Amino acid sequence: MTVFKWEHGRIGTGSQLVAIRVTWSALYNPAGLAEPWLGAGDTTTRLLLGAIAVLLFAILVVMSILASKGCIKCEAPCPEDWLLFGRKCYFFSEEPRDWNTGRQYCHSHEAALAVIQSQKELEFMFKFTRREPWIGLRRVGDEFHWVNGDPFDPDTFSISGPGECVFVEPTRLVSTECLMTRPWVCSKMAYT
């Protein structure tokens, strides 16, 4: 096996170039004795390189132990039993309750009844709503408002029905009386 040894010459001034000479030498000599990579009197450098090697090995061992046990701070973007879509987490309840009970449940889990902000999000809701859950949209007077206080834009989505609280059918939004029982959908921002 052959190694390079770089020997630097003088650094010149002005237009002079740095002289570099490459010498080839085998790691062993004909007598079978290893040729020293570092100078014989360079004990400090050898100790420093040895310490760095031991430190790197220790870091590698610690990292492999942590990897086998799981991350120290590797949180999933959503709580268990919640679905991630875009940058939000969604919880689809199984039990039917009235709109206010669903809202309270979401609030107790640092979330809100789902606020749908785009057509893609609505399509996601259509795909995962087999039980027609409540969402965070309610009629206040003659207009609908989201639970986060934003007004509802009727040009974005249409709502069928004469009721006060809104739920999702597989292809449309429908309003009905808030005391009716049905599942609900909570949403909150994903962990970052």
The dihedrals phi and psi of 120, each to the nearest 5 degrees, come to -60, -40
Burial environment of residue 120 by CB neighbours within 10 A (0 to 12, 13 to 18, 19 or more): exposed
**pTM to 2 decimal places:** 0.61
Condensed to tens digits (0 to 9), the pLDDT of residues 148-167 reads 998 898 888 899 999 999 99
Specify the 3-state DSSP secondary structure of 70: coil
In whole angstroms, give the CA distance from residue 80 to residue 127: 20
DSSP-assigned letter for residue 97:
B
- Single out the residue in 24, 45, 69 at which a domain terminates: 69
* Same domain? 40 vs 114: no
Give me the CATH number covering residue 90. 3.10.100.10
Is 76 a member of any domain?
A: no
Percent share of the chain, pLDDT over 70: 73
What range does the domain containing 98 cover? 83-189
Is 6 a member of any domain?
A: yes
Please count the structural domains in the chain.
2
* Same domain? 55 vs 115: no
Is 97 a member of any domain?
A: yes
